[in-house]
Amino acid sequence: MVEDFESAQNDASGAWVAAFRDKVRTLGGALYRDLPWRCIDDPYGVLVSEVMLQQTQVKRVLGRWEAFMALFPTIDALAAADVSAVLSQWQGLGYNRRALALKRTAETCADRFAGRLPESYDELVRLPGIGPATAAGVRAFAFDQPGVYLETNVRTVFLYELFSDRDGVADKELVPLVQAACPQTDARGWYYALLDYGAHLKATVGNHARRSATYARQSAFEGSRRQKRAEVVRIVLSEPGIELESLAAALDREEAGAGRSAVDRDVLESIVADLVREGFFRQVGDGFVA
């Protein structure tokens, strides 16, 4: 097994790759998690899982993916759904922007790709909310295509195995190694093994992805503007047509229940304006409807 990053870089023969793959496949295979979105013949279902799993633990997605797929089983079904129905189903997963981007991707695919998800990386990254990691994940898990799938569990493995004594490791150092290690066949199985080994490492020896230069500790949710945005969305979903005064009162009741002071009116109006502009809901007369 290669000892560190420098050894890997200096090994022009790439012999480290075989040892690294053997270790990851052996350990990852033994730790395999039988998740409902794995080994499915449905690129759309894979995309839904990848979007749900962004910054969200697997245990929170279990059950939610199945429920979402039951309500919106195809790209066309999601494209035709009301925004309110999609956001309602997303409640509890956090980061509502992901749900909105997923619906917009479905609309684009329904219009441009006959209700199918494109296979090419370039077409995938042009879709709303799909970045390099999500595109690579869809290609690997839906189409079994090799690529650079670099997310937190994958980072954890590479940092633990190859950068054990370094902090602030940049992705530009990781990308060539991830690319070299990814096999041309069975990319799906390879990344499953990496994900499962990485999840095991995070649970047993800590999250080594924190030593990545890209790592940023997530700010506290409670009391944040993000928390208030989420609460405003929830209130509008539960009370379609609610007017601003009633919305303010409902939000203040939630804040008081959490031991916080009332929300400044300018802050609330700014949040509502942002949510309307971003497409979470619209103003109809004096009220707001998702």
The catalytic site residues sit at: 50
8 A C-beta contact, residue 52 and residue 93: yes
Q: Is 279 helix (H, G, I), strand (E, B) or coil?
A: coil
Instruction: Identify the CA nearest to 247 among candidates 216, 283, 200, 218.
Output: 283
Q: CA 8, CA 173: separation in Å to the nearest integer?
A: 11
Please work out, in degrees rounded to the nearest 5, the angle formed at the alpha carbon of residue 168 by the alpha carbons of 29 and 206. 40
Distance from the first to the final alpha carbon of the chain: 55
DSSP class of residue 282 equals E
8 A C-beta contact, residue 32 and residue 41: no
Tally of residues, the chain: 290
Q: How many CA atoms lie less than 13 Å away from 128 in the CB half-sphere?
A: 15
Instruction: Identify the CA nearest to 55 among candidates 134, 117, 119.
Output: 134
8 A C-beta contact, residue 277 and residue 81: no
What's at 192, amino acid-wise?
A: Y
Cβ neighbours of residue 272 closer than 8 Å, sequence gap 6 or more: 232, 244, 247, 288
